[in-house]
Amino acid sequence: MTFKNLDTTGAFDALSHLQPGNPKTLLNAERIKAYQAPAGAGITYQYAAMPVQEEHLQLLAALAEEQQLISKYQALLDGEVMNTGEKRLVLHQLTRGQIGKNVIADGENKATFYQEQLKEIERFSDQVRTGKLTGSTGKRFTTVVQIGIGGSDLGPRALHLALKGWCSAQDITSLDARFISNVDPDDAQAIIRTLDLERTLFILVSKSGTTLETLTNRDLVIDAIKQAGIHGLDPSQHMVAVTSKTSPLAHSGSVRQAFFIDDYIGGRYSSTSAVGAVVLSLAFGFDTFKALLAGAHEADLQALKPSIKENAALLDALLGVYLRNVLHYPSTAILPYSQALSRFPAHLQQLDMESNGKHVNRDGQNLSYPTGPVIFGEPGTNGQHSFYQLLHQGTDIVPLQFIGFSKSQYGKDVLVEGSTSQAKLNANLIAQIVAFARGKEDANPNKCFAGNRPASLLYADRLDPKVLGALLAHYENKVMFQGFLWNLNSFDQEGVQLGKVLATKVLNGCEGDAVLKAFTELL
Amino acid sequence: MTFKNLDTTGAFDALSHLQPGNPKTLLNAERIKAYQAPAGAGITYQYAAMPVQEEHLQLLAALAEEQQLISKYQALLDGEVMNTGEKRLVLHQLTRGQIGKNVIADGENKATFYQEQLKEIERFSDQVRTGKLTGSTGKRFTTVVQIGIGGSDLGPRALHLALKGWCSAQDITSLDARFISNVDPDDAQAIIRTLDLERTLFILVSKSGTTLETLTNRDLVIDAIKQAGIHGLDPSQHMVAVTSKTSPLAHSGSVRQAFFIDDYIGGRYSSTSAVGAVVLSLAFGFDTFKALLAGAHEADLQALKPSIKENAALLDALLGVYLRNVLHYPSTAILPYSQALSRFPAHLQQLDMESNGKHVNRDGQNLSYPTGPVIFGEPGTNGQHSFYQLLHQGTDIVPLQFIGFSKSQYGKDVLVEGSTSQAKLNANLIAQIVAFARGKEDANPNKCFAGNRPASLLYADRLDPKVLGALLAHYENKVMFQGFLWNLNSFDQEGVQLGKVLATKVLNGCEGDAVLKAFTELL
């Protein structure tokens, strides 16, 4: 393997000199049929409205070759140290199935380690769900609260919301799940006051076991449990931990049980590890989580296909780099036409921006080209009545990634004026892609739409656990390929350190009105 | 008044030729004291970490003069037709108090009209809250569900969430409030299944009374009520409308009562009209809503001050244009250090991007400079564990607007390692501003922070109804001033039309698997 900056590749140079395609004139029925690539688990990546033609695609394929994207992915799967900054392996794909060689680290087979954790989680979640394990006063658990922040929160929270409707429609008995993340004490308070503490199980999630927000919120919860003054209510029997084996949380005696992850699972990639497994298995049953893993595994396998026409993650990554580095678009909107995915963009925002918002390459040298874009998004059709004005008629072009499904999750719908709500939702989805691409002439410039707004679409039959797992893995793999393209390390996050260090300096000086005083003391 | 494009003003030309200030070297204790402007209701706008010095501020003040920002605001208050595209007045400020001349339109004094609606809402909400008005089966209402989309959803939803903790801490008895917006049938279903329909009051919010999503969701709700098969349960007694007097919803007989807005309240500016008043008064009591109006009115008055040093909305607008048009930054992050404001950025995203995401000026001529930026954001400290990596070390600079408060809403907190959670929250807030501005040198480039990331801060004692009202109005007025600076119409939204028209064409062809077929039929 060789590692080269993007701007030293011949394919990128050739791409930069090629006239981009214009979706306004290109979008036609033939392209809609032809410009599709599988993402795994029945998801199709549709890119007919992207500003490329066959000649661009050939150069993008050449770029994939030149940057050895598939070989690097395979090396990652085989256990190479791809997190160069922290000198760590990158093993989140292994949490859902083994594709590469046996990975031995820390004196163990890592696939076995992840499988063992899953088995523990299966046993534990079954016992809680069937009422064999109860709270300290003998009452059955009805609610589970995940306490975590960043990767211990955004992914599991988005996945929980994404599956709630589907599980409800399948009559899968579920524990209610809630999430506390922010160090703002109002976040914990708003949740705690709604809980029946005797029936609540808290999951403390922190890989290091030292995350300030999470430990503070744990103490807020313990305080509330003590203040409840219920005879026999023992906080330690209402808490489990997801952490690493060496963390202070692992053996503290303050938790009922600990489930383990390791240093090879980055926070933003941890949803398919114990970080997501415990809360989702408790809420929806272990089988639901297993289906999610199966979907992610399918997408991981799909991402190994060498041809861009059969590998949506690879192609999505290449097209994203084309938009960013050849066409210089600084942001991308993620627009799921599914209310269940309303917090999925917030997870992708972390996944993408924390992974590829870097200014140095994997060897620590400054890069001279833009890397990760700003990622934002809200579900459609809501966004249509909000920020789409700027997307259609603003002065900047924002590339768009739509997500859609043929069927709803609950399957409960009504005919209004001859069509269901689901049909209306999808009619809007495709209408928007066409409107963005083609635009519209009008004698009144205020009613003109320039068009040529690039869009792609990830489309599947229904948002079930398997499809959701594949969708999640698609984005993880896309981000990974983009990191390889930009020749940076997508797996560390040095940018979060400085603020942490500075905050520690003034922690005790920030009570009440003293905040602005502390502000000057930081200088 | 004269209306000129930004790039024809002398002050802008002078600003473009002036070297920007660098927060890295500029940020010091003296500036922190001096660079503050009041935003009303005790909110301070702190801009010490912005890339400007006195000479920039003088030119920005000159720009405000040259573009006659205060006169234009006064003209708007006095009832001039400032929504030129739709030939309408712009009267949302009048919903919270009269500052300008009497505005007579549609044969009535508009201040009187808005006051009358408020009185109706006060009476109605009191009757519901005290149990004088009940559901059709005689049961007291406990839950209110707002059905609306865009401006009928995002603002009221964000404000409701923002006040929930404060009202709870004040023991203000409240009805539970929920929101349905998306045409995705799963959105309505997820809410409906949790409701006690006999005790639920629905508020249909649509100015035109023809919004597809809202009418469809109404029908889904009526269907659910009928299917519940409860003797005597009459949907029309469980619905009220907020709409215009001429809309089909106003006199349909299908609602119990209608409250009115008019054409001079744009959706994204409607939170202080009946659109926000009904749901917030039901949830938190009319007095709470009145305090919110009082705060907004204070901010509206503050925005009339001619000096930029006494007018935060004006200065925030000017600095935003400086960042956008001189420094060419394409996006802005809104970062509230308050979980209660977790959906406030989504409201501001609509407010800003729908208002100023325009490519033509108020006379319909194409503009040759960038207008409204992409707006996104999530609450801190959550964001620190997510996308802040890119903000600190990405290749692009993203200007930041922080929001913070000395005190929490619930006031329930614990000391962990010598500091409260609230102190930790605020320590992080100021530490981030310093980290973004100053950066950090390091021998390892991967640990380097370039600094020079501009940030401003809106700061107040506590997020109560008055402060929230002022915060809302601050942003509305900022966006208005920016529209004047760019010489565009911030009050129409032609960009939402094309997608709507195209969607209508294929509504009936989008059932199940036929979606991609309908896609090609749109071409």
* Length, in residues, of chain A: 523
**Peptide bond between residue A137 and the one before it cis (omega within 30 degrees of 0):** no
Using a CB-CB distance cutoff of 8 angstroms, which residues of chain B are in contact with residue A34?
none
Distance, CA of B151 to CA of B267 (rounded, Å): 4
Distance, CA of B127 to CA of A519 (rounded, Å): 48
CB contact under 8 A, B502 and A378: no
C-beta of residue B499 within 8 angstroms of C-beta of residue B376: no
Under DSSP, the state recorded for B47 is -
- A277: part of which helix (H) or strand (E)? helix A274-284
- Angstrom CA distances, B42 to A18, A444, B291, B479, stand at 56, 44, 14, 20
Q: Which residue spans within B254-363 are E strands per DSSP?
A: 257-261, 331-336
Distance, CA of B231 to CA of B236 (rounded, Å): 14
- Indicate which residue of B213, B354, B378, B476 is catalytic: B354
Residue with tokens 């989140």: A92
The DSSP line for A327-394 is S---EEEEEES-GGGTTHHHHHHHHHHHHH--SB-TTSPBPSS--S-EEE---TTGGGGTTHHHHHHS
Q: What is the mean pLDDT of residues A337-358?
A: 98
pLDDT of residue A112: 98
% pLDDT > 90, chain A: 94
CB contact under 8 A, B446 and A492: yes
- Indicate which residue of B30, B54, B385, B417 is catalytic: B385
Q: Which residues pair with B431 in a beta bridge?
A: none
Shortest Cα–Cα distance, B249 to chain A (Å):
16
- Report the residue from B184, B424, B508 with minimal CB separation from A419: B508
Using a CB-CB distance cutoff of 8 angstroms, which residues of chain A are in contact with residue B386?
150, 154, 268, 346, 349-350, 353-354
Residue with tokens 């929980």: A160
CB contact under 8 A, B392 and A503: no
Helix (H, G, I), strand (E, B) or coil at A154: helix
Q: What is the mean pLDDT of residues A108-122?
A: 98
Nearest residue of A to residue B371 by CA position?
Answer: A395
Q: Does residue A204 register a pLDDT over 90?
A: yes
pLDDT digits (tens, 9 = 90+) for B11-70: 999 999 999 999 999 999 999 999 999 999 999 999 999 999 999 999 999 999 999 999
Question: φ and ψ at B179, to 5 degrees?
Answer: -135, 135
Q: What is the mean pLDDT of residues A184-197?
A: 97
C-beta of residue B308 within 8 angstroms of C-beta of residue B317: no
- Angstrom CA distances, A23 to A189, A316, A431, B37, B523, stand at 50, 16, 14, 47, 12
Active site residues of A: 354, 385, 500
- Angstrom CA distances, A477 to A184, A355, A405, A473, B40, stand at 33, 11, 21, 6, 48
Shortest Cα–Cα distance, B68 to chain A (Å):
24
Residue with tokens 């402007």: B37
Shortest Cα–Cα distance, A98 to chain B (Å):
28
Structure tokens at A468: 């959701």
Chains A & B: contacts with CB separation below 8 Å = 495
Q: Does residue A174 register a pLDDT over 90?
A: no
Q: Which residue of B430, B468, B491, B508 to mutate against A (max A Cβ within 10 Å)?
A: B430
Question: φ and ψ at B44, to 5 degrees?
Answer: -110, 135
- Angstrom CA distances, B169 to A193, A512, B284, B463, stand at 11, 18, 12, 12
Using a CB-CB distance cutoff of 8 angstroms, which residues of chain A are in contact with residue B456?
none
Q: Does residue A241 register a pLDDT over 80?
A: yes
Distance, CA of A334 to CA of A351 (rounded, Å): 13
pLDDT of residue B472: 98
Using a CB-CB distance cutoff of 8 angstroms, which residues of chain B are in contact with residue A520?
29, 32-33
Angle of helix A312-321 versus helix A69-77 axis, rounded to 10: 120
pLDDT digits (tens, 9 = 90+) for A46-73: 999 999 999 999 999 999 999 999 999 9
Question: φ and ψ at B229, to 5 degrees?
Answer: 60, 35
- B455: part of which helix (H) or strand (E)? strand B455-460
Give the dihedral of Cα atoms B231, B234, B235, B239; nearest 10 deg.
Answer: -130
CB contact under 8 A, B382 and A495: no
Per-residue buried b or exposed e for B119-141, using 16+ beta carbons within 10 Å of the residue's own CB: ebbbebbeebbeeebbbbeeeeb
Per-residue buried b or exposed e for B465-492, using 16+ beta carbons within 10 Å of the residue's own CB: bbbbbbbbbbbbbbbbbbbbbbbbbbbb
- Report the residue from B185, B360, B518 with minimal CB separation from A427: B518
Q: What is the mean pLDDT of residues A129-149?
A: 97
pLDDT of residue A511: 86
pLDDT of residue A517: 86
pLDDT of residue B512: 81
CB contact under 8 A, B445 and A366: yes
Distance, CA of A95 to CA of A290 (rounded, Å): 11
Distance, CA of B405 to CA of A512 (rounded, Å): 9
Closest CA to B382 of A187, A315, A237: A187
Shortest Cα–Cα distance, A254 to chain B (Å):
16
CB contact under 8 A, A424 and B85: no
Distance, CA of A459 to CA of B245 (rounded, Å): 42
Closest CA to B49 of B17, B77, B26: B26
- Kindly give, in sequence order, each residue whose CB lies less than 8 Å from that of residue B193, ignoring residues fewer than 6 positions away: A168
Distance, CA of B358 to CA of A450 (rounded, Å): 12
CB contact under 8 A, A510 and B338: no
Diameter of chain A by CA atoms? 76
- Report the residue from A364, A428, A523 with minimal CB separation from B444: A364
- Report the residue from A168, A376, A496 with minimal CB separation from B374: A376
pLDDT digits (tens, 9 = 90+) for A360-390: 999 999 999 999 999 999 999 999 999 999 9
Using a CB-CB distance cutoff of 8 angstroms, which residues of chain B are in contact with residue A375?
387
If pLDDT is split at 50, 70 and 90, which confidence band does A424 have?
very high
- Cα dihedral across residues B19, B23, B28, B30: positive or negative: positive
Using a CB-CB distance cutoff of 8 angstroms, which residues of chain A are in contact with residue B394?
353, 357-359, 371-372, 495
Question: φ and ψ at A422, to 5 degrees?
Answer: -60, -40
Using a CB-CB distance cutoff of 8 angstroms, which residues of chain A are in contact with residue B435?
498-499, 502
If pLDDT is split at 50, 70 and 90, which confidence band does A30 have?
very high
Shortest Cα–Cα distance, B169 to chain A (Å):
10
Per-residue pLDDT of chain B (523 residues; tens, 9 = 90+): 999 999 999 999 999 999 999 999 999 999 999 999 999 999 999 999 999 999 999 999 999 999 999 999 999 999 999 999 899 999 999 999 999 999 999 999 999 999 999 999 999 999 999 999 999 999 999 999 999 999 999 999 999 999 999 999 999 977 999 999 999 999 999 999 999 999 999 999 999 999 989 999 999 999 999 999 999 999 999 999 999 999 999 987 889 999 999 999 999 999 999 999 999 999 999 999 999 999 999 999 999 999 999 999 999 999 999 999 999 999 999 999 999 999 999 999 999 999 999 999 999 999 999 999 999 999 999 999 999 999 999 999 999 999 999 999 999 999 998 999 999 999 999 999 999 999 999 999 999 999 999 999 999 999 999 999 999 999 999 999 999 999 999 999 999 999 999 999 998 889 888 888 889 889 8
- Report the residue from A220, A446, A449 with minimal CB separation from B421: A220
CB contact under 8 A, A219 and B416: yes
Helix (H, G, I), strand (E, B) or coil at A506: helix
Distance, CA of B395 to CA of B387 (rounded, Å): 13
- Report the residue from A164, A433, A509 with minimal CB separation from B190: A164
Active site residue B347: no
ipTM: 0.97
Distance, CA of A379 to CA of A161 (rounded, Å): 13
Q: What is the mean pLDDT of residues A387-408?
A: 98
pLDDT digits (tens, 9 = 90+) for A450-478: 999 999 999 999 999 999 999 999 999 99
- Report the residue from B386, B417, B523 with minimal CB separation from A154: B386
- 3-class SS letters over B66-92: HCCHHHHHHHHHCCCCCECCCCECCCH
Distance, CA of A67 to CA of A481 (rounded, Å): 9
Nearest residue of A to residue B215 by CA position?
Answer: A416
CB contact under 8 A, B419 and A511: yes
Q: Which residues pair with A415 in a beta bridge?
A: A420
CB contact under 8 A, B186 and A193: no
Q: Does residue A85 register a pLDDT over 80?
A: yes
Structure tokens at A390: 């700027």
CB contact under 8 A, A367 and B510: no
Structure tokens at A407: 């069927």
Shortest Cα–Cα distance, A82 to chain B (Å):
15
Under DSSP, the state recorded for A139 is P
**How many C-beta neighbours within 10 Å does residue B504 have?**
15
